[in-house]
Structure 1
Amino acid sequence: MRKVLLPALVIITASLLLIRLFYLQVIDDSFKLQSDNNAIKINYTYPERGYIYDRTGKLLVANQPSYDIMVIPRDVKKLDTVQFCKLLNITKEDFIKKIAKARVYSPLLPSVFLSQLNKVEYAGFQEKLRRFEGFYIQKRSLRDYQVNYGANVFGFITQVNEKTIEKNPYYKGGDLIGKQGVEESYEDILRGQKGVKYILRDKFNREIGSYKSGKYDTISKQGQDVTLTIDAELQKYGEELMINKRGGIVAIEPNTGEILALVTAPSYDPSILVGRQRSANYTKLYKDSIAKPLYDRGLLAEYPPGSPFKILTGLISLQEGVINDSIGFNCRHGFSYARGRFMRCHCSGGRVQLHRAIYQSCNTYFSSAYIKLINKYQDHGYAVDVWAKHLKSFGLGDFMGYDLPTGRKGKIPTSKLYNKTYAGWKWDGKTIVSNAIGQGEVLMTPIQLANFMATIANRGYFYTPHIIKKIEGTTIDKRFTTKHTTTIDRKYFDPIVSGMFDVYNRGTAAGLGAVGIEMCGKTGTAENFAKINGKRVKLQDHSIFVAFAPKDNPKIAIAVFVENGYWGARWAGPITTLMIEKYLNNKITRIDFEKRMLTGSLKSQYDKLLPQKQQDSIFRKRDSIEFAKKRIDSIAKQKKATIKKDSTKTN
């Protein structure tokens, strides 16, 4: 029996292998297509990417034809290198490097030799292509931007790297993929499906027809169009207002969570990342480590929120029962909170209650409320965690789950931090009182500021902010239509909203309204420190403003953050008013604000951060005083034309 067992196992194993080989080679030969088969040539057809529209149906991003020169190193023979290089305007050294790189990738498979030729370059090369064995033209589709703004919203497309190819077999060398913004978030939808055609070749490398009569061929499928929540005109206007400034603007529709504008400054024209100069331009943008035009400040920049945070301090204190509408605190323009140190206050002083504390931004009131809140429980660590839990119900201290590929969590401290920081010391509310006015360990991004303002506008709930409004043929993710309710009872929002309404009427933003819209807002100023030459230096404060409008049935919630912008009402406040009026009324009445914001510059503040040898940056040509002046002249001409037209109608 034992003598038979071993031969039987060998025979059975060999039989199974033969059967499997027969199946793979005769019955199912699809595996031939996945190998470097010399007899089969693979041609890809690339679809157009889906178009991108704004919320009103305005076309923002379309496509234009592009042509890549592909090479199969093994097939390159008898090449006139001098003529080839002259035709493509490249050096012989470039030619040698590119061929070597292609050979390393694969001597048998095609790879990109030179990408993104325009129509003129393509026509010149196509005419003489037959002379260059081993090279062929691959038609692709590049982006054609219909606007010169919104670069951070759109993102860009670039060639895939080896890591992406290894991770996702759909992509091959030379394929394009979306990076950053909507292009990255919705890559699978926008890219479509490329087609494949397998062509049989003879021993002389001549094409002799389709492999298996086209059995495995597929046709390309165009990418799906997407409609964004962005209002193109509001986005454009926001970027213009932020010329010669740094910071972010985020506007949200409160009752849907739709992002109306997502502005980062400085920015750049998206069209510079298209074509053969894309790589050089990207490098310039990437190397600008001072202005950081590729850095989306609306999503990534974490700042102390400053005085707008007092709104949250008030809400949590109301919910926890340590204050009410009638409780007041005496303000003498300074509040002693620990070891003889004082927190200055700029309100008019006297006994301050919640309503006036909001519209005059009283540090004393909110510091006193915060201390009572933390000292409410014998375990101060537990009290901090209760406070943090309320804040996190507003979407703070964590990624918000929006549909853009980049972001930061911000920071909401808990007892773990303070128990470690003050180990062995009996800390209490006075120790960490700076949190009360948004100057402690709390950090927030502009989109978090805007979202918490939308939550106030809704009196206690919000929808996850998102950039997608509609996808052709499908529905948007349910997470964007799911309501999130805070831990604060609805009844406590009314006194807060009332105080914010008076911020515009008789408070810290008095004079910023007067546009015929009932607006609720809050000014903010955040201290600003930076390391210069290894030293921590106090720089000009940041200017912050948050608002929503109208007061009842609000249509827009907004956060504006201007770096080194002095105080809230100086830069961020006027920009907020202009953005709200632009969106709700589609016209501007505060021409004085508009002129000052368009021509105003904070360049002198930012120059303090520059190295001695300042390099030119690609975005600065656009962010110039001349650009702003031209914009003002254009606005003036439009208004004159409108007045003349209205006068003619009247007559």
Structure 2
Amino acid sequence: MQYLEGRRYVVQGIFLLVGLVFATRLFFMQVLDSTYKLAADRNTLQRLVQVPYRGLIYDRKNQLLVTNTPVYDLLVVPREVKGLDSARFCQLLQIPIESLREGLKAARKYSGTKPSPLVQNLSLAERAAIQDNLIDFPGFYTQARMARAYRTPNLAHALGYVGPITPKLLELPKYGRYGAGENVGIAGLESYYEPTLMGRRGVQFKMVNVRGVEKGAFRGGEFDTLSVAGQDLHLSIDAELQAYGEELLAGRRGSIVAIDPKTGEILCFVSAPHYTPETLTGKGMGNRYMDLLRNPDRPLFDRPLMATYPPGSVFKLVNELVALQLGVVTPSTGFPCNQKLVRCTHNHEYPSNVSIAIKNSCNPYFYQVMRAAVLRGKSPNRFEDARLGLGQWQKMVKSFGLGEKLGVDMSQEKRGLIPSPEYYDKRLGYHRWNFKTVYSLSIGQGEIGITGLQMANVLATIANHGYYYTPHFVKGIGNAGPLAKYRERHYTAVDTAYFKYVIPGMQEVVDGRGGTGSLASLREFGISVAGKTGTVQNPHGYDHATFAAFAPAENPKIAIAVFIENSGFGGSSAAPAAGLMIEKYLRGHVVGYHKRMEEWIKYGNLTAHLH
């Protein structure tokens, strides 16, 4: 019995001890620790995401292009909305009631307990006007963030833009750290370098009372994390050259791309028609975006990266180099200007060597050059011989960075097309085509398609005598130098020794008597320009004009490609535009007679104005 009596006291002691623990804990929670009293006034904590300062963007001369400005968003937590006076709320915010209903519906669909944006991009004055009244509207509060601001009206296609993250993106793992309403890079460099520019988000946990008034950090900020600002981008773009290029193509459709051959750095990236970067920021951004989208001139279309055209006569340079490598022609090989093969638009001397042929852009000459490169007698069957020859030709042409993505630091780059034997087999049938079917490739016409960026890169490759660096916009991130992947040389399938044979003819195009690109000449300034004009046939209207060049010819510092739609001969508008851009870059300004050409270029019929 004494044993049982002892057990009873032990059990009673245990219950008493547990009771004392609970009583002590309740006393601590209700009397000593105010955290739980504050939490009781409102059953949830406010979790505020601290969006970091987005990285800035500079040009090659450290001129600031893109910065940040503070704006405010009105957020809503649907489950916390009680007894909403919709009419008064809409009057306070100056929004239609339909917008309120749609916003609340979207917020509920996203989450009943997480904050969603209702009205974005409020200015400081707009935020101040509503802040004191939000106490009467539980579930609504404002949050500050940084929005993009631009110090340049140019370069919109390359910079891209920042906008609210979409529900589709939120479903992707790579955007797991984002919340509804947060901004994300949507196009251009803002999108490609999003992880670099965004930085690292921070989180603050705040206690609020029943009226929504802050009562301090939860547990003294024990669980808070600091945000880390994004890194800055230092671009290779020359802001002055970019502005000048956009001025030259004002009112036209086309592109200008300039590259430093020694580094692959993109100096300018003009897509016309263009728009200002500010267009896609702030209130009404969605409406302005739709206006651009509906514009028949397609200003949102990134022409240097996405528009693929036949290159025209500029492509003759590549064909000549491939033929030289294959050993089917020599620098002194001559072919007659036989217009029974293909029409020649120039009256010129007998093309007795490659320099004369390039200077006069003789179509029959380059027809015969490519025929020699393709029809090699590798098979007694003429169809199979064409297939084998074209297959080897295509591989060598693609080594110039054509028919493939170059790997520029921008999304949406197009590959273009360098047709293969399989392409024609599928289109025309196996052994149903031969060289006469595809001869238009010899003069840069037909099925071939390249972008403005690729054309500029081809000229950079010739300037370097056979290699190129991947074209890129960003010279450095933060305090770091050039990215390693942009310092790798990419060699063509043509030996370095052959490139010297096409450059004299290119110089004759610009500086020679009767050269087709004479309006790009900078002889008076002691600058030798090596270039090639092109006129691209257009079945839908006036022909397109092209011109590609590099300068100075002896020590190239800029390679450039100009493409202007519906402007006729390349020598009439594209060549002078390139000459002016080269002059602007190498000399810093355009003077004298050349100033007159600026307006003429915009009309696409320069020859008529000159004569």
Interval containing the TM-score (normalised by the shorter chain) = 0.7 to 0.9
Give 1:350 shift. 3.0
Give 1:547 shift. 0.2
Residue of structure 2 in register with 1:597 after alignment: 598
Equivalent in 45, 53, 57 of residue 50 of structure 2: 45
**Contact between 2:520 and 2:577, CA under 8 Å: does it hold in 1?**
no
Residue of structure 2 in register with 1:221 after alignment: 228
**Contact between 2:159 and 2:190, CA under 8 Å: does it hold in 1?**
yes
**Contact between 2:351 and 2:357, CA under 8 Å: does it hold in 1?**
no
Equivalent in 499, 504, 512 of residue 498 of structure 1: 504
Residue of structure 1 in register with 2:249 after alignment: 242
- Counterpart amino acid of 1:282? Y
Give 1:599 shift. 5.7
Q: 2:177 aligns to what SS in structure 1? A: coil
Q: Aligned pair 1:114/2:119, yes or no?
A: yes
Equivalent in 519, 529, 536 of residue 526 of structure 1: 536
Residue of structure 2 in register with 1:315 after alignment: 321
Distance 1:524 1:190 in 2: 40
**Contact between 1:244 and 1:600, CA under 8 Å: does it hold in 2?**
no
Give 1:82 shift. 2.5
Give 1:440 shift. 2.0
After superposition, the C-alpha distances for 1:163-201 in whole angstroms (9 at most, x for unaligned) are 211212111111100011110011111111121012356
- Distance of aligned partners of 1:260 and 1:330 in 2 relative to their CA distance in 1, 3 Å threshold: same
Q: 1:350 aligns to what SS in structure 2? A: coil
- Distance of aligned partners of 1:389 and 1:129 in 2 relative to their CA distance in 1, 3 Å threshold: same
Give 1:602 shift. 5.0
| Greater CA drift, 94-103 or 346-355 | 346-355
Q: Aligned pair 1:389/2:395, yes or no?
A: yes
Residue of structure 1 in register with 2:550 after alignment: 548
After superposition, the C-alpha distances for 1:409-457 in whole angstroms (9 at most, x for unaligned) are 0001111122334436464323311101000211100000000100000
Residue of structure 2 in register with 1:69 after alignment: 74
- Distance of aligned partners of 1:490 and 1:198 in 2 relative to their CA distance in 1, 3 Å threshold: same
Residue of structure 2 in register with 1:631 after alignment: none
Distance 1:235 1:472 in 2: 23
After superposition, the C-alpha distances for 1:97-146 in whole angstroms (9 at most, x for unaligned) are 21222122222111001001112211211232322221111101111100
Equivalent in 407, 413, 417 of residue 411 of structure 1: 417
**Contact between 1:252 and 1:465, CA under 8 Å: does it hold in 2?**
yes
Distance 1:571 1:261 in 2: 18
Q: 2:157 aligns to what SS in structure 1? A: helix
Q: Aligned pair 1:264/2:271, yes or no?
A: yes
- Counterpart amino acid of 1:458? N
Equivalent in 285, 296, 314 of residue 278 of structure 1: 285
Give 1:459 shift. 0.5
**Contact between 1:242 and 1:597, CA under 8 Å: does it hold in 2?**
no
Q: 1:259 aligns to what SS in structure 2? A: strand
**Contact between 2:511 and 2:529, CA under 8 Å: does it hold in 1?**
no
Q: Aligned pair 1:582/2:584, yes or no?
A: yes
Between Structure 1 and Structure 2, the one with more strand by share is 1
Residue of structure 2 in register with 1:179 after alignment: 186
**Contact between 1:571 and 1:597, CA under 8 Å: does it hold in 2?**
no
| Greater CA drift, 121-130 or 498-507 | 121-130
Give 1:473 shift. 4.0
Give 1 or 2 for the bigger CA radius of gyration. 2
Distance 1:511 1:448 in 2: 23
Give 1:55 shift. 0.3
Residue of structure 2 in register with 1:420 after alignment: 426
Q: 2:537 aligns to what SS in structure 1? A: strand
**Contact between 1:564 and 1:602, CA under 8 Å: does it hold in 2?**
no
TM-score, with length taken from structure 1 = 0.82
Equivalent in 72, 84, 88 of residue 93 of structure 2: 88
Distance 1:144 1:207 in 2: 31
**Contact between 1:503 and 1:520, CA under 8 Å: does it hold in 2?**
yes
Distance 1:554 1:194 in 2: 45
Give 1:300 shift. 0.4
Give 1:601 shift. 4.1
After superposition, the C-alpha distances for 1:446-503 in whole angstroms (9 at most, x for unaligned) are 0000001000000000000000011114454322110111111111111101110111
| RMSD of aligned residue pairs (Cα, Å) | 2.0
Q: 1:544 aligns to what SS in structure 2? A: strand
Give 1:79 shift. 3.4
Residue of structure 1 in register with 2:518 after alignment: 510
| Greater CA drift, 247-256 or 425-434 | 425-434
Residue of structure 1 in register with 2:451 after alignment: 445
Pairwise mapping of residues 7-22 of structure 1 onto structure 2 (< 5 A)?
none
Distance 2:288 2:88 in 1: 28
Q: Aligned pair 1:291/2:292, yes or no?
A: no
- Counterpart amino acid of 2:299? P
Residue of structure 1 in register with 2:564 after alignment: 562
Residue segments in structure 1 that go unaligned for 5+ positions in a row: 1-36, 337-341, 531-538, 605-651
Give 1:283 shift. 1.1
- Distance of aligned partners of 1:91 and 1:367 in 2 relative to their CA distance in 1, 3 Å threshold: same
Residue of structure 2 in register with 1:400 after alignment: 406
Give 1:265 shift. 0.1
Q: Aligned pair 1:160/2:162, yes or no?
A: no
Q: 1:343 aligns to what SS in structure 2? A: coil
| Greater CA drift, 83-92 or 569-578 | 83-92
Q: How much identity, in percent, do the aligned residues show?
A: 40
- Counterpart amino acid of 1:578? L
- Distance of aligned partners of 1:428 and 1:603 in 2 relative to their CA distance in 1, 3 Å threshold: closer
- Counterpart amino acid of 1:456? I
- Counterpart amino acid of 1:227? H
Distance 1:343 1:175 in 2: 59
- Distance of aligned partners of 1:166 and 1:346 in 2 relative to their CA distance in 1, 3 Å threshold: same
Residue segments in structure 2 that go unaligned for 5+ positions in a row: 1-41, 380-384, 606-611
| Greater CA drift, 321-330 or 574-583 | 321-330
- Counterpart amino acid of 1:406? Q
Give 1:510 shift. 2.3
Q: How many residues align?
A: 552
Distance 2:150 2:343 in 1: 51
Give 1:281 shift. 0.6
Residue of structure 2 in register with 1:146 after alignment: 151
Residue of structure 1 in register with 2:13 after alignment: none
Distance 1:319 1:586 in 2: 39
**Contact between 1:374 and 1:428, CA under 8 Å: does it hold in 2?**
no
TM-score, with length taken from structure 2 = 0.87
Q: 1:431 aligns to what SS in structure 2? A: helix
- Counterpart amino acid of 1:597? E
Residue of structure 1 in register with 2:259 after alignment: 252
Q: 2:131 aligns to what SS in structure 1? A: helix
- Counterpart amino acid of 2:64? L
After superposition, the C-alpha distances for 1:486-526 in whole angstroms (9 at most, x for unaligned) are 11111111110111011112211124313421110000000
- Distance of aligned partners of 1:195 and 1:515 in 2 relative to their CA distance in 1, 3 Å threshold: farther
- Distance of aligned partners of 1:116 and 1:254 in 2 relative to their CA distance in 1, 3 Å threshold: same
After superposition, the C-alpha distances for 1:541-586 in whole angstroms (9 at most, x for unaligned) are 0000000000112100000000001010111111000000000000
Q: 1:523 aligns to what SS in structure 2? A: strand
Q: 1:308 aligns to what SS in structure 2? A: helix
**Contact between 2:568 and 2:604, CA under 8 Å: does it hold in 1?**
no
**Contact between 1:242 and 1:598, CA under 8 Å: does it hold in 2?**
no
Pairwise mapping of residues 344-355 of structure 1 onto structure 2 (< 5 A)?
344-355=344-355
- Counterpart amino acid of 1:595? R
**Contact between 1:118 and 1:275, CA under 8 Å: does it hold in 2?**
no
Residue of structure 1 in register with 2:495 after alignment: 489
